[in-house]
Structures are given as C-alpha cells and as structure tokens.
Amino acid sequence: MPISTRTPARTTLMYKFRSLMEGLVLEDAQEAMLREYPGTGTPPYRKPGLFYWLLRTFFIPIYRLVPGSFRRMIMRVLFVHNVQNWPYQPWKTE
C-alpha cells in the first residue's frame, strides 16, 4: 500500500537529460575498465539507435575534455535548486 496519496510530479526535461548523460558516462567508465582489465566482466548494455550512437560519439569525448571545475559549475547552475520554504509549518511552535 503506498504511503503517499498524491500522484508523483512529472519528470522535467532537464532531469531526463541529466539521467541519460549520467548513464552514458557510467557506460563509458565501465567500458574503460573492461579495456584495462579484460575478461573481468561483461560489457554494459548499449541502448540501440542513432540518437544514442550520436551521444556516445560526440558527447562523451567532449565531456572528457571539459575540466572538472567547469562541469561542477554547470551542474550547479542547471540542476541544483534553491531551498524551498513552506508557507505554513504546523509542526513548529514558536
């Protein structure tokens, strides 16, 4: 039985983009480990399609070239949200 009674919020386009890119970077890291240590595991599942092929071909090499400090700044700007304050907090007694 679910605890919440509301339907979950729809995922945003930015969230979908971020999870897709995280999956591609993880897939690339797993393939790099298999190249360095052959015979130690199975290759990751690669999603079929031209879109995923283009992302693997162009996004991953560009991602490797970008410095980590710039990546963190971009992630902070695009994906970190400000603290949301509740207008009424009945659990707090003042």
pLDDT band at 81 (very low <50, low <70, confident <90, very high): low
Q: What tens digit of pLDDT does each residue of 12-45 get? A: 787 888 888 889 989 999 999 999 999 888 888 8
Check if the beta carbon of residue 34 is closer than 8 Å to that of residue 43.
yes
pTM of the model: 0.66
Amino acid at 92: K
Q: Residue 33: what pLDDT? A: 93
Structure tokens at 23: 């999956």
